[in-house]
Amino acid sequence: MSNRITELFNIKYPIVQAGMVWCSGWRLASAVSNAGGLGIIGAGSMYPAVLRQHIQKCKQATDRPFAVNVPLLYPEVQEIMEIITEEKVSIVFTSAGNPATWTEYLKRNGIIVVHVIANSKFALKAEASGADAIVAEGFEAGGHNGREETTTMCLVPMICARVKIPVIAAGGIGSGRAMLAAMALGADAVQIGSAFAVAEESSAHPDFKHRIISAGEGDTKLRMKKLVPVRLLKNEFADAVAQAEAQGADAEVLVRLLGRARAKLGMFEGDMEQGELEIGQVSAMLKQVRPAEEILNEIWKEFLIEKERVSGLSFK
Ligand code: NDP
Ligand code: NDP
């Protein structure tokens, strides 16, 4: 199978691994790229020197294409972009910011640009700024989330109807069935986060991976809506946020409650109660820690089986 996305990125399968803070270092990105998908290094948790190290290690570990995700709200974006061009990274996913700011610079340097959006307004803005594709990320997704709370089921067809560039669906996709559904909604590919956060090669703390595969329905909630909405796994910190929010906490109170480096504390250092545990709703369906290649192959195999099943349906 080849389509606009496999051709754009020069990859085998239309499966993109999400850039995830504290989870997607060079080990995960290179494992996904070697398996035929597109691996992404998540620069959001990396100081510039660490990012350079991860890009260099990724180039050593794979000769396939890989990308870097840059959340535009992070500090030192300028330095990060310079490193990306110096290291000749060929694909960049930008998120959490205005696509007009960096797309032209990246395109001038011959880099393929994909921007992550959660509503039509930003999809149109990304297309107008010259992005080559967009990721449409719905409400089910882990971590930072859109304010509109539009689910993937509603967001993807809405965006596909409004833009001409390829659309990569994200949020709630962790199986071949979900992938097929996203393609039926009009997506050209899928971006998968949570299912790869629990890969053996993910740099997340082992206790965080274990907590994810033990999670059940309703264990993640969208919190911090008055600051930046973020989907979190239930723990003491998330409960404290919920309590503060029930009492009407404003952005200032939430910033104080959040403090600094809570995502690192939970996801990387393994504090399962006081850390901030960012993961998607699909965690309720994840049951084991496995190599990334196995995860990708299973998703692709199920996608093909389900595609056959659905195309064979007949109604009289
Ligand atoms: P890696 O080669 O996997 O990582 C190299 C460096 O990148 C490490 O400094 C490591 O931090 C850091 N790092 C790994 N994954 C990430 C990530 N997803 N986001 C941000 N930084 C990451 O591991 P090594 O065993 O060779 O460790 C070398 C160093 O890499 C370590 O100092 C490690 O801290 C750091 N590292 C940082 C990560 C990070 O997210 N910041 C992820 C993985 C490793 P650390 O030393 O704290 O493990
Ligand atoms: P924090 O701002 O709490 O802390 C920064 C973390 O990123 C630290 O763990 C730090 O590592 C690491 N880091 C990696 N590269 C850099 C860099 N270049 N400069 C500074 N720190 C770096 O991080 P969060 O990840 O929680 O938040 C990221 C941004 O998003 C912040 O601006 C925050 O205000 C904003 N935000 C976050 C929300 C959330 O729910 N997390 C909600 C709303 C806004 P180290 O500890 O090793 O120094």
Nearest-atom number in ligand 2 for the CA of 76 is: 18
Could you say which DSSP state residue 70 is in? E
- Say which ligand is closest to the CA of 31: 1
3-state secondary structure of 11: coil
pLDDT tens, residue by residue, 190-235: 999 999 999 999 999 999 999 999 999 999 999 999 999 999 999 9
pLDDT tens, residue by residue, 248-297: 999 999 999 999 999 999 999 999 999 999 999 999 999 999 999 999 99
Tell me if 24 CB under 6 Å of ligand 1. yes
Assigned fold of 11-204+283-302: TIM Barrel (3.20.20)
The predicted pLDDT at position 74 comes to 87
Tell me if 224 CB under 6 Å of ligand 2. yes
Paired residues of 115 in beta bridges: 94, 134
3-state secondary structure of 35: coil
Tell me if 290 CB under 6 Å of ligand 2. no
Whether residue 11 has pLDDT greater than 80: yes
Atom 28 in ligand 2: residue holding the nearest Cα: 74
Whether residue 129 has pLDDT greater than 80: yes
For 291, the token pair is: 């190599």
Atom 31 in ligand 1: residue holding the nearest Cα: 50
Of 200, 199, 168, the closest CA to residue 183 belongs to: 168
The predicted pLDDT at position 217 comes to 97
Tell me if 264 CB under 6 Å of ligand 1. no
Degrees, nearest 5: CA angle 241-254-47: 105
Across the range 122-143, mean pLDDT stands at 98
3-state secondary structure of 53: helix
From 203, 264, 278, give the residue whose CB has the most ligand 1 atoms within 8 Å, as the site to mutate: 203
Cα 109 to chain centroid, rounded: 24
CA of 29 to the centre of ligand 1 (A): 13
The predicted pLDDT at position 137 comes to 98
3-state secondary structure of 139: coil
pLDDT tens, residue by residue, 159-195: 999 999 999 999 999 999 999 999 999 999 999 999 9
The predicted pLDDT at position 109 comes to 98
CB under 8 Å to 49, separation ≥6 — which residues?
Answer: none
CB under 8 Å to 271, separation ≥6 — which residues?
Answer: 265
CA atoms within 13 A on the CB side of 64: 20
For 289, the token pair is: 């820690």
Mean pLDDT, all residues of the chain? 97
How many Å apart are CA 286 and CA 232, to the nearest integer?
A: 16
Could you say which DSSP state residue 221 is in? E
Whether residue 308 has pLDDT greater than 80: yes
CA of 199 to the centre of ligand 1 (A): 16
- Helix ranges, 175-249 (H): 176-184, 194-197, 206-214, 236-246
Whether residue 316 has pLDDT greater than 80: no
* CA-to-CA separations, 212 to 261, 267, 272, in angstroms, rounded: 20, 11, 11
Tell me if 262 CB under 6 Å of ligand 2. yes
Residue spans in the chain of domains classed CATH 3.20.20.70: 11-204+283-302
Burial (CB count <10 Å: 0-12, 13-18, 19+), residue 295: buried
Nearest-atom number in ligand 1 for the CA of 204 is: 18
Tell me if 46 CB under 6 Å of ligand 1. yes
Cβ–Cβ < 8 Å for 128, 107:
no
- Say which ligand is closest to the CA of 201: 1
Paired residues of 41 in beta bridges: 68
How many Å apart are CA 113 and CA 93, to the nearest integer?
A: 6
Tell me if 19 CB under 6 Å of ligand 1. no
